[in-house]
Amino acid sequence: MTSRATIIEQELWINNGVSNIVDSPEIPYTAFNPSTEFETLNAILTVSIGDTIAFTIHNNDSLMHGFNIKNVTVPGGPYTIAPGDFITVDVPFENYGAYIYYDDYNYPHFKSLGAAGTIMVGNTEHPLFYWNMKEHDKTWNVATTEGVYGPIEDYAPLYFTINGLSNPETQDDPLSRITGNVGDTLVVCIANTGQMTHSIHFHGYHATITYSSANPGHIHRIKDTFPVQEMETILVYLVPDKIGKYPVHDHNLVATSGNGIYANGMFHIIDIVE
C-alpha cells in the first residue's frame, strides 16, 4: 500500500448554543462545528498518517476561546481567539492514534462547555465508529458563561453524552452505533473529553486495543471493558465472532442516566448480522 501525505483544509467555527437532551435542561454549550450553524456534535476529523491539516478556526462566540491539540505539536500554539476573530495553523499528524482538539482557554471550564472533538489518524479501510464522551453540569456551565470558575469539587454532572447525544437518541447516530457482519474488523475511536473516568463495557464481544494515549503498554490487550480517563483516547478493533444485539455502556453507572433517569446517557446497542 502506498500513501501520500496530503494537506487537508479544515475550517471550524466555535459556536455557542444549548443542549436539550433528555428533559430539555437548556445546558449552555459550545462546540467546534464545520459551519456557523451550532450543533452539539464536535466535528470528527479523520486523516491518514503523515497528513497535514490546515486549520482555520473562527470564534463565533462573544467569549474568548482557545485552540490546542493534546499530544500533538501545534506550531505557534496554544492559541487564543478573540470573539469574532480567527486563527490559521498547519498541523502535521505523524503518528497513528486518536487525538483530542479542544478549547484550552480557562481550562477545564471552557472545555467543559463542550468544545472538544476528536481527530483519528490512521490508514485504515475498515469501518470506523466514533465515541466522543462528555458529562454536563448545567450549574457549572451557567457559572462558567458568567465568568465564575468554581473548584472541581463542585462539579456534579447529571447528563452524559456520546457525540452530544443521550440514549435513546444515540441509537439513531450512525457515527457511534456499532454495526457490521461476523468476521468484519470494526474500529472504534473512543475519546473522553469530559472530566471523569468512563469505563466502556462491551457485552457479547471482546476487542483489542491498538492505541492508548494514557497507557501505550496496553496495546494488544484483548478485553471487554476499557476505562478511559479524562482527556484520554483509545482505539480498539472489534472482530465479531457471532451475530447478535448486545449492550455497550459505561460501567460508571451514573453515566447511564440523565438527570437521574435510567437508561439515558452513555448506552448503546451493538448490532451484528451474518
Tell me which residues touch Cu ion (CB under 5 A).
Answer: 201
What is the Cα–Cα distance from 100 to 195, expressed in whole angstroms? 13
Instruction: Closer to Cu ion by CB, 126 or 221: give it.
Output: 221
Coil, helix or strand at residue 60: coil
CB 254 → Cu ion: shortest distance, Å? 14
Instruction: Closer to Cu ion by CB, 201 or 221: give it.
Output: 201
Instruction: Closer to Cu ion by CB, 201 or 206: give it.
Output: 201
CB 266 → Cu ion: shortest distance, Å? 11
Reference 57, options 21, 82, 22; nearest CA is 82
| Strand arrangement of the beta sheet that strand 27-33 belongs to | 27-33, 7-19, 52-59, 86-92
Task: Give the cell for residue 31.
Answer: 462546540
Instruction: Closer to Cu ion by CB, 126 or 251: give it.
Output: 251
CB 203 → Cu ion: shortest distance, Å? 5
In Å, how far from its chain's centre is CA 268?
Answer: 15
Which residue shows C-alpha cell 471487554? Answer: 224
What is the Cα–Cα distance from 121 to 193, expressed in whole angstroms? 17
Residue least distant from Cu ion (Cβ): 201
CB 205 → Cu ion: shortest distance, Å? 12
CB 233 → Cu ion: shortest distance, Å? 21
Surface-to-core class of residue 55, CB atoms within 10 Å of its CB (0-12 exposed, 13-18 middle, 19+ buried): buried
Instruction: Closer to Cu ion by CB, 68 or 199: give it.
Output: 199
Handedness of CA 193, 159, 153, 59 (dihedral sign): positive
Instruction: Closer to Cu ion by CB, 201 or 223: give it.
Output: 201
Query: Partners of 159 in the beta sheet?
Result: 136
Q: How far is CA 76 from CA 89, 105, 194, 198, 221, in A?
A: 8, 15, 26, 32, 37
CB 252 → Cu ion: shortest distance, Å? 11
